[in-house]
Structure 1
Amino acid sequence: MSHARTLWEEGSEPGRQVIVLGLACTLTAVVIDLALGDHLSLFFDLCFVALCLGLALAVRPSDFFTVGVLPPLLMVAVFALLGVVSPGSVAQQGDSLVQAVITGLATHAGALIIGYALCLATLATRQRFLSRSTLTS
């Protein structure tokens, strides 16, 4: 008798695809947010937190480490890109790349902490559930 798969068992995407998906979704949130205003806002933060949770649920178990380190790297990459293209969206218009990244990280630290914590907690829960289900099978 087979049982229905639970939410914790569903993730089956390879790590590389999850990285690309994460980058594409983060950049999409940035574009939408900047179309609505001049700076990244709470919209970006909420999208980032939801994305961190979604990526942790989508990845296959063998690539948990990849997603476990992804949220801070995604945020730094996005702020570095914005620091080159549009520093005024994350910092003052005349700020350097380094200053734009630091200001962006400081401004959106809450979203990074919450998203990263949710990501790691989800991965830990999935790992625990998967190890229990293999012991009972």
Structure 2
Amino acid sequence: MTTHPIDLFSSALHIHLDGEVRAAERQMTSSDSGAWQVATFHVETDADVHADHWEQHPEAEEAVCCLTGGVRLYFRPTDPDDAEEMVRLPAGHAVIVPRGRWHRLRLDAPSDLMTITLRQGTRLEKRTP
């Protein structure tokens, strides 16, 4: 194996259950590769984080990490009469999104983010006001 630098802003790391780690294309929707994905993003606007959609990962928890900037992570209420729960992530902070929990992001500033999850079964749903 040849060792070389990997640009984490253009590729993702896929970590397979057999211990293999390789650079691969980032998957933003469901993937059946069985690999955990470590993906890093530079985001400038709410559109870059699909703030108008809820996202859910039914097969695994997700670590959402704010490396620079600042974001707000919202959890969809489990009861329709409840309000959204919000967690503010300044630079250097992370939150673990529970398996199967609908969530979305909004930016406080341009940011560098890293997410770690199993993309298998990932779902997106348009947010209604």
Normalised to the residue count of structure 1, the TM-score between the two structures is 0.25
Greater helix proportion: 1
Greater strand proportion: 2
User: Based on CA coordinates, which of the two structures has the bigger radius of gyration?
Assistant: 1
Greater relative contact order (Cα < 8 A, sep 6+): 2
